[in-house]
Amino acid sequence: MKVTFLGCGDGFSLEQGHNSALLTFAGTNLCIDFPESNHLGLHRLGMQLNQIENLFITHLHEDHINGLQKLALFHKVYPGQTKPKLYIPTGLKADLWQCLRHGLELTTRGKREFEDYFDIICVDHEFEIAGIRFELVQTLHVPDMLSYGLLCKPYFYFSGDTRFDESYILSIADEVQTIYYECHLQNDQLPSHTSLEELLTLPVAIQAKMLLMHYVDDYVHAAARDQFHAEYKLRIAEPLRGYDGE
């Protein structure tokens, strides 16, 4: 299981891509979320948009889905070996199509539906790709908004966007090698996200297996991350670096 962030940026990031992870395993791949900035991230990895085989969408904030229309159209113009499979939490499917359909429904070849662009698999609890199981975990991002993380034992937990969920982190920490957790790394408290101050309340052994993502551009340069790593056990994920077996 190799995890490569196509971007680790927050919703307002300019200098790096928005947060999205490309997992490669068992001869296939799965992209968690699909911001527009993934196009450049994939290009830098030497990949085309039509090489994405599987997608999972955590929630419908635009910095997590604003590349899906381009991905869908690219696959129609330059088809990959297979239509991308879209694993979508059941409660998000209709709203996601509402977000996308204004640019995808009407075409020169007639009216198209969501299913014409993606093989859609609605997920309630878990899904499996090439023998690897991914469990949906509802997160605490915005009240009443559906938002999810992914648990993939024994490899990782990926938090998606969420407020600090201490009890959940404590409950799975021993079962995974790495915890990819969102942290804005700003001084201000943001009510829908997790702060550094909150993560520093966790046991140090848990902090040591965390990689932070969805952060502000202040940490996009290696020197800033190195300075942070000299001070804390927590690590900051680096865009386009492959984390092998983590």
The residue ranges that bind Zn ion (CB under 5 A) are: 11, 61, 63, 161
- Count of CB atoms within 10 A of residue 14's CB? 8
Residue with tokens 């239509």: 83
CA distance 211 to 147: 20
Report, in Å, the least distance between residue 160 CB and Zn ion: 8
The distance of closest approach from Cβ of residue 65 to Zn ion in the complex, given in angstroms and rounded to an integer, is 10
Nearer to Zn ion, 53 or 161 (CB): 161
Q: How far is the CB of 119 from Zn ion (least distance, A)?
A: 25
CA nearest to 117, candidates 91, 96, 132, 134: 96
The residue among 50 and 58 lying less far from Zn ion, judged by its C-beta, is 58
The residue (of 9 and 84) whose beta carbon lies closer to Zn ion is 9
Q: Least distance in Å: CB of 100 to Zn ion? A: 17
Specify the 3-state DSSP secondary structure of 157: strand
Between 73 and 196, name the residue whose CB sits nearer to Zn ion: 196
Q: Which two tokens stand for residue 191?
A: 């009510």
Choice between 161 and 165, CB closer to Zn ion:
161
Coil vs helix vs strand at 134? strand
Exposed e or buried b per residue across 177-198, where buried means at least 16 C-beta atoms within 10 angstroms of its C-beta = ebbbbbbbbeeeeeebbbbbee
Tokens of 122: 């609605």
DSSP string, 25-71: ETTEEEEE---TTHHHHHHHTT--GGG--EEE-----HHHHTTHHHH
Q: Least distance (Å) from Zn ion to the CB of residue 81? A: 30
In the complex, the smallest distance separating the C-beta of residue 11 from Zn ion, rounded to whole angstroms, is 5
Which lies closer to Zn ion via its Cβ, residue 85 or residue 141? 141
User: Which of 199, 165, 180 shows the shortest CA–CA distance to 237?
Assistant: 180
Q: How near is the Cβ of 161 to Zn ion at its closest, in Å?
A: 4
Q: What H or E segment, with its residue span, contains residue 54?
A: strand 54-56
Nearer to Zn ion, 117 or 239 (CB): 239
Phi, psi angle pair for 167, to nearest 5°: -65, -35
